[in-house]
Amino acid sequence: MTQPNIRSGHDKQSKKITAVTRRDVFDYLRGLDDSWWGRLAEIGFLESLYDLDALPSNDSRYATARRDIIQHRVNNYDWEDDWVLEDLRFQLTDGPDEVLLAFLARMVHPEVQSDVDRATRQVDELNRLLAPDGWALRAHEFLSGRPIYAAVPIGHAAGPVIPLPLRDDDATKLDLVLGQVHYQLGNDNQRTAQDLVRAATLALRRDGGFFHPVPDDNWRADTYEAVLTVEAELVSDFTPSVTDSVWRSLASFLHRLQREDVQSLVVEPSVPSLPDIGPDWRKSAASSASTPTNQGRRERQIGDGHPSEDGLLFGSRAELVVYQVLKEIQREGPPQNAIAILPLPSAKLRDVGVRSPDLVVIGNGRAVVMEVDGPHHYARTRKADDEDRDRHWLRCGIQTVRIASE
């Protein structure tokens, strides 16, 4: 019996495998010593799963995915080895579970992976990653004495048993509760909430009984609130709808654990740990202040009063706002196409000495200078100076983008 072919379709298609699991699987595949196509050529591997002549090309010069792959993986070899994982045509990132599972099963097929022990180790690790979403690879027949694997549903594990009582200060049990919340949010297709919970810690504390008095408790201080602590930059991502989704799931688990006294959920930023300061901290601070730096040179010479973030100085509040917007773009962008942000870097230009643009952004093999202009930049003399600065950067092959601060 041959490997199931995606081209023939499936009677039932499911979407139980979460984005979190898919990322973990992809990270595992990228870390393997051998390639995903094994003993076969990439075309040979993929054509057993997909109709490469029916899938379109991403290159306008060609009509089919087959010609696309030949051009960029055989003729030019200008795609990365893991290109197929992120290529939307092959539906491994967000397609039905059966598409990803057929791909993984093909990877450990005897025709692809000749080393039985290695295939077994890969299956064990893939099953560990897939199990929380209710799937496993199981041997269903043999070829020349070697197992052929197919995906089978295994049902959801009951999850870890959390013994009672659940005390306020029991960090280990509370973390298991948060893990169950994370799992449930995935089942409910609450992907944003699920990803945010993964980066949080859970605690319980008294709320004073003022906002949520328990009936007949004579207003005693014996009601609690659940506290999710996250990095400061993630707090704003907990919108009311996200927080409500997390609380609905968390409240149901707390109720099962006899903690009906927990009445609400709050999200707070984590407090940075205190620095390790010695008795000679003044001497160390003076030494650090005199250390040369190529970031914000003029601003550091002037002294206090300039805004700062991430240990970087900015010439104005408007520059800081642009930096924060760029950080948001950086955080939300795909990791394989990231950008770097350089506020007030110093650069020696030909004929004009050292210049420090407001921001330089690097990405996709290119760089751009960003200047945040206040009203004074519109004066005739300053405008001419700005144009002269832009010309010097253009001689280096770098464009300048000017943003009006107002």
Looking at the structure, do residues 41 and 134 belong to the same domain, yes or no? yes
CA distance 138 to 197: 32
Q: The domain that contains 364 carries what CATH number?
A: 3.40.1350.10
Looking at the structure, do residues 33 and 148 belong to the same domain, yes or no? yes
Query: For helices 116-130 and 19-30, what crossing angle results, to 10°?
Result: 160
Residue range 348-397, pLDDT digits in tens: 887 777 888 889 999 888 999 998 876 655 555 557 677 878 888 888 88
Looking at the structure, do residues 323 and 376 belong to the same domain, yes or no? yes
CA distance 315 to 309: 12
In this model, does residue 88 exceed pLDDT 80?
yes
Domains contained in the chain, number: 3
pTM above 0.75, yes or no: no
What are the DSSP E strand ranges found in 75-160?
A: 135-143, 146-153
- At position 32, the amino acid (one-letter code) is L
Instruction: From 354, 338, 341, 286, select the one nearest 314 (Cα to Cα).
Output: 341
Residues 177 and 166: beta-carbon distance below 8 Å? yes
Amino acid 3: pLDDT: 40
Amino acid 98: pLDDT: 94
Looking at the structure, do residues 79 and 130 belong to the same domain, yes or no? yes
C-alpha count within 13 angstroms, C-beta hemisphere, residue 392: 16
Looking at the structure, do residues 317 and 372 belong to the same domain, yes or no? yes
Supply the mean pLDDT for the chain: 82
> Quick one: pLDDT band at residue 257, thresholds 50, 70, 90?
confident
16: its two tokens: 């139980």
Looking at the structure, do residues 51 and 94 belong to the same domain, yes or no? yes
Query: Phi and psi at residue 360, in whole multiples of 5°?
Result: -125, 130
Burial class (CB in 10 A: 0-12, 13-18, 19+), 182: buried
Instruction: From 128, 59, 71, 138, select the one nearest 105 (Cα to Cα).
Output: 138
What's the gap between Cα 153 and its chain centre? 28
CA distance 110 to 229: 48
Amino acid 265: pLDDT: 93
- Domain of 86 in residue numbering reads as 19-153
Looking at the structure, do residues 35 and 139 belong to the same domain, yes or no? yes
Asked whether residue 82 is assigned to any structural domain, the reply reads: yes
- Partnered with residue 262 across adjacent β-strands are 224
Looking at the structure, do residues 26 and 143 belong to the same domain, yes or no? yes
Residues 194 and 184: beta-carbon distance below 8 Å? no
CA distance 246 to 54: 42
